[in-house]
Amino acid sequence: MAGPARIAAWTAGLTGLKRAAVGIFLGAVSVLAFAPFHLWPILFVSLGGLVWLLDGSYRGGETLPARILGAGLTGFWFGFGFFLTGLYWIAEAFLVEPWRHGWLIPFVMTAFPAGMALFFAAGCAFAMALWREGPARVFALGLGLGLSELARGYVLTGFPWNLIGYGLLATPSLMQLAALFGVYAATVFAVLVFASPASIWCGGGSQSRRSAVVASALLVLLAVSYAWGAIRLAGTADTPTDLRVRLVQANIDQAEKWRPENATRIFETYLEMTERPGLEDVDIVIWPETALPFALDKSPDALAAIGDILPANTVLLVGSARWTERRNDMGILVSRRAYNSLMAVDGEGQVVAIYDKVHLVPFGEYLPYQDFLESLGVMQMTGVRGGFSVGTGSRLMTVPGAPPALPLICYEIIFPNEVRTQASPPRGTERPGWMLNVTNDAWFGSSAGPYQHFYQARLRAVELGLPLVRVANTGVSAVVDPLGRVLANINLDTSGIRDVTVPALGPLTLYVTWGLWTELLALGIALLGWLVCRIRVRPPRLTG
């Protein structure tokens, strides 16, 4: 026990560059808890170390403002390390066309992690306002980081990538907790569980004993949660439906995709893969996001070719850019809009349903202050003049011969509450029968990014109790059941098809039913724990 106490004292006593370096290191190693590594016990080290660093801010600050400022800086350095290593793969997108975007990499890979680190800074500063010796500080940190991670999902359109809760839900058994309260509430629980053992070493005495009691109780709760998840998995068998889909992953190099001379070859590649044996037994063929380097609905020859190969009762779902025009009474073009769309094409080559992406990627699909930045020569990653427009209309998609689908293009699937809202229609209306996620993770090469994206998509299936069908240009394409089990997949950097029967709809989850209330409950429990830990137990007075 003396060893951890000395490490805790040494960590708390760090100042200046040493404190910043340790904060960055702890944030960086936290990423090992997420896909593709899933080494979730590392969070005991990283979040425990963060507690000790914040202890130093608490004890070293002479006034509350000084303590809050020190905690904010500590949280910033921790967050900078976390996002620098966790989002390094974003640089891959700037190397697709390095002559256009490569020069931005040093700026993006410092400014973006620094901007995201402000959320951790705010969470730690908030926690310091409530910081006390003993177990109370763990609940303060759970409340602070829980609030800041929730804010990260909404501020400036949101980017809830690698929320701390994903580290807790890394195993199939613990993943089942998402069906109860979702990843935001899991984030609060994760901070409490992983930070609590470190709170035991706070200078000895009754506070250490109280911290040990709290840590033990939380670890027991973690074990119970794991056991419950394992029982849920063992007691739920896969139930197939009559819907059979073909996943088509062509593995097209992103750098080659938009060259005009490659358009015909790419289209023919998809046609050839679609036509492979067994097509007559498939109800739906699925191609990924922006599968084709041209607007499919404006290409009658391409639609006719698709109709020629599809059986009469088979439908193609294909991601494609789509342009619309509005003209005045004189026939003069007034406006032209581009959409990132998902189209359903029937066996006659007719477009029978369209979904336009709603949650667009800033700087990827559109630019804030689009006209001004384009006048300076700045373009979003997709290079579409004017950027993509936000889709309107129903978020559900009616596909012939299939239950209503919840379509999600690319990173739309990482927004838990936004997806939950679409999966819980008003009373009396039909619940979607499955989720469809089409994406183009080829932007990010063979990095950790595609694996992180796929894991977050799997967790949406558990949260919502919906089967997931996911098709990527390259990795990871898969079919996932409502408990997050992968039934079939095509790996990263692989070309191939999979014919899979879509699993049945799962029961309505507690998270879908209660939604935001589960997140408020988790925050309320953290606040209640903080209040309880502040109660001082006085010894009974002796009489006589």
Backbone angles phi, psi at 227, to 5 degrees: -65, -45
What length does the chain have? 544
Determine if the peptide bond prior to 476 is cis (ω within 30°).
yes
Neighbours of 334 (CB within 10 A): 9
Alpha-carbon distance of 327 to 337, in angstroms, equals 12
315-327 and 333-345 as β-strands: parallel, antiparallel, unpaired?
antiparallel
Which residues are catalytically annotated?
289, 357, 410
Give the residue among 465, 466, 469, 505 at the shortest CA–CA distance from 487. 469
Q: Residue 325 in contact with residue 333, Cβ under 8 Å?
A: yes
Alpha-carbon distance of 448 to 112, in angstroms, equals 17
Alpha-carbon distance of 528 to 139, in angstroms, equals 9
DSSP characters for 238-279? --EEEEEEEEEE----HHHHT-GGGHHHHHHHHHHHHTSTTG
Give the residue among 61, 68, 52 at the shortest CA–CA distance from 14. 52
